[in-house]
């Protein structure tokens, strides 16, 4: 039977939005009554007003989370029981797939084909995976002398504050809340002011799945108001932050200024992708390099935005790359054929166009794109942009652009390419393409990044940790390692005899 095509425009027109906070199991306005506008980057239209929460609302959410934790409404449930609830949460996310996908696309600008096929299923999978894992974890007994028994157990830290960005609103939220909730914590989530709507809906779905009131709260608002209040709060035990390096530095300061809460930071990137002349499959290298930089409008922390290509294959590489670019022309995000959507807002659009102007001013060669498109829509779209003849001292090679802009740098000496690749404040991801096993391993070892790909880019699995080194942050999301962020080790000594 042929699948019936969804009329996304009709669905969008009929959509009801609710931008109120979700605290202690209920939708509430900000205590001050203040709101901010949620504008759609698709066409600039207002979707709804969201609660502009501040310190008073954060206090209320943290108090609700603390009470739920102290009463052990969730932490006191057996891991197998929490598992059942989290699996139901994951199931309900998939049952609400179209609605959540549409919210994500309208609020943030990514194509509906991806919010429906990537973002919603990935968030659901993440929650299911941590739910399934949590009743299979064992603690330890230390190898002490016979006269004592020393138990090493993991306990939830208590109240976790999660602060997330707008580029993958639901997935970033899931990476924080899934391990934190599975471990038995209560959570206060502060979504980005640019994309709060899907997280707010997730909180309703969590309650429906059986997560007790107060355990999962979502508080929309600005970073300098709600975000800082959460990170500075004296009764928050841990902050899981994903966002820019600039704000990550503030988060660490807030932790020090307040109660020394543990603070985890997943920050920006300027990832290097090195293609050697002996790369095993040039077509695959071109497809992966181009696909990964333009996916999500280039608004990915791990986007391979610096491409190093060995001079002897560079002309062939660039010719193949240019052929692919028309596939990434921005289109209507509500059209299922569109692969590149809108930039999140007018501020980010200006930032991206500013970097393009800087690349031109500093002498990089603009091979394609470089302009705003679909201006008649009222939204914010940028053509896939390709710069050649970039050098590592240019601003476009040093700073995270967070837009569909690729900087290509030629090289003749691999050691020098690796030196340039590492000459950045960031260290999130990197890649090397070569048929030579020794070269692959030596280069992967030399690249300073949280993940290195060999002959691929953007391999991804929930079982594998994700995070960076240097100013790309600390800590790891995903995999069983994420439990380390949201649990404390406790030692219990028992005297024998």
Task: Give catalytic residues, as residue numbers.
Answer: 266, 301
- Least Å distance between CB 192 and ligand NAD? 4
- Least Å distance between CB 345 and ligand NAD? 10
DSSP-assigned letters across all residues of 208-231: HHTPPTTSEEE----IIIIIHHHH
In this structure, what are the phi and psi dihedrals at residue 310, rounded to the nearest 5 degrees? -65, 135
Closer residue to ligand NAD in complex, CB, 128/470: 470
Q: Give the span between the Cα atoms of 419 and 348, in whole angstroms.
A: 30
Site residues, ligand NAD (CB under 6 A): 163-167, 172, 190, 192-193, 222-224, 227-228, 231, 242-244, 247, 250, 266-269, 301, 400, 402, 428, 468, 472-473
Closer residue to ligand NAD in complex, CB, 50/247: 247
- Least Å distance between CB 372 and ligand NAD? 20
Closer residue to ligand NAD in complex, CB, 239/277: 239
- Least Å distance between CB 268 and ligand NAD? 3
DSSP-assigned letters across all residues of 67-125: HHHHTTTTTTS-HHHHHHHHHHHHHHHHHTHHHHHHHHHHHH---HHHIIIIIHHHHHH
C-beta of residue 164 within 8 angstroms of C-beta of residue 172: yes
Residue whose C-beta lies closest to ligand NAD: 223
CB atoms within 10 A of CB 458: 17
The two three-digit tokens of residue 209, written as one number: 């799945």
Residue 165, C-beta contacts closer than 8 angstroms, at least 6 positions apart = 172, 192, 242, 243, 244
- Least Å distance between CB 62 and ligand NAD? 14
Nearest alpha carbon to residue 352 among 328, 324, 380, 376: 380
- Least Å distance between CB 351 and ligand NAD? 10
The two three-digit tokens of residue 23, written as one number: 């605290």
Closer residue to ligand NAD in complex, CB, 55/287: 55
Closer residue to ligand NAD in complex, CB, 358/442: 358
Sign of torsion over alpha carbons 165, 169, 175, 179: positive
Exposed (0-12), middle (13-18) or buried (19+): which is 252, by Cβ within 10 Å? middle
C-beta of residue 138 within 8 angstroms of C-beta of residue 204: no
Closer residue to ligand NAD in complex, CB, 193/332: 193
DSSP H or E segment with residue 432: strand 429-433
Closer residue to ligand NAD in complex, CB, 234/494: 234
Nearest alpha carbon to residue 201 among 19, 12, 14: 19
- Least Å distance between CB 266 and ligand NAD? 4
In this structure, what are the phi and psi dihedrals at residue 183, rounded to the nearest 5 degrees? -75, -10
- Least Å distance between CB 175 and ligand NAD? 8
Closer residue to ligand NAD in complex, CB, 368/451: 451
The two three-digit tokens of residue 158, written as one number: 């208590």
CB atoms within 10 A of CB 250: 19
Q: Give the span between the Cα atoms of 375 and 337, in whole angstroms.
A: 20
């Amino acid at each position: 039977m042929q699948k019936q095509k969804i009329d996304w425009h009709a669905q969008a027109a009929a959509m009801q939005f609710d931008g109120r906070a979700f605290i202690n199991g209920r939708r509430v306005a900000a205590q001050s009554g203040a709101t901010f506008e949620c504008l759609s980057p698709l066409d600039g239209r207002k979707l709804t007003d969201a609660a502009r929460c501040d310190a008073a609302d954060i206090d209320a959410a943290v108090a609700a989370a603390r009470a739920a934790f102290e009463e052990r409404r969730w932490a006191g449930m057996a891991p197998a029981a929490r598992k059942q609830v989290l699996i139901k949460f994951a199931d309900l996310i998939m049952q609400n797939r179209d609605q959540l996908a549409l919210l994500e696309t309208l609020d943030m600008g990514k194509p509906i084909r991806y919010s429906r096929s990537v973002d919603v299923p990935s968030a659901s999978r993440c929650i299911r995976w941590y739910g399934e894992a949590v009743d299979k974890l064992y603690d330890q007994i230390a190898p002490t002398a016979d006269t004592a028994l020393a138990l090493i157990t993991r306990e939830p830290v208590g109240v976790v504050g999660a602060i997330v960005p707008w580029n993958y609103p639901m997935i970033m939220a899931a990476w924080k809340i899934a391990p934190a909730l599975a471990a038995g914590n209560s959570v206060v989530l502060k979504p980005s002011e640019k994309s709060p709507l899907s997280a707010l809906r997730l909180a309703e779905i969590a309650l429906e799945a059986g997560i007790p009131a107060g355990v999962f709260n979502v508080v929309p608002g600005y970073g300098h108001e709600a975000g800082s209040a959460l990170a500075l709060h004296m009764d928050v035990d841990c902050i899981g932050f994903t966002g820019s390096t600039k704000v990550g530095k503030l988060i660490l300061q807030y932790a020090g200024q307040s109660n020394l809460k543990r603070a985890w930071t997943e920050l920006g990137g300027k990832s290097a992708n090195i293609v050697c002349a002996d790369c095993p499959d040039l077509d695959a290298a071109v497809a992966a390099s181009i696909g990964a930089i333009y996916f999500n409008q280039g608004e990915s922390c791990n986007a391979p935005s610096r491409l190093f290509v060995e001079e002897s294959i560079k002309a062939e590489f660039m010719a193949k790359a240019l052929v692919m670019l028309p596939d990434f022309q921005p289109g209507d995000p509500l059209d299922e054929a569109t692969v590149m959507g809108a930039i999140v807002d007018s501020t980010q659009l200006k930032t991206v166009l500013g970097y393009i102007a800087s690349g031109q001013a500093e002498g990089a060669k603009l091979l394609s794109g470089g302009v705003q498109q679909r201006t008649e829509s009222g939204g914010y779209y940028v053509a896939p942009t390709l710069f050649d003849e970039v050098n590592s001292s240019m601003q476009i090679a040093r700073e995270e652009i967070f837009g569909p802009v690729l900087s290509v740098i030629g090289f003749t000496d691999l050691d020098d390419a690796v030196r340039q690749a590492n000459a950045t404040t960031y260290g999130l991801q990197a890649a090397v393409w070569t048929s030579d096993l020794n070269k692959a391993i030596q280069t992967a070892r030399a690249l300073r990044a949280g993940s290195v790909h060999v002959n691929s880019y953007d391999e991804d699995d929930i079982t594998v940790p994700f995070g960076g080194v240097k100013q790309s942050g600390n800590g790891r999301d995903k995999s069983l390692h994420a439990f380390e962020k949201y649990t404390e080790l406790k030692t219990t000594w028992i005297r024998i005899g």
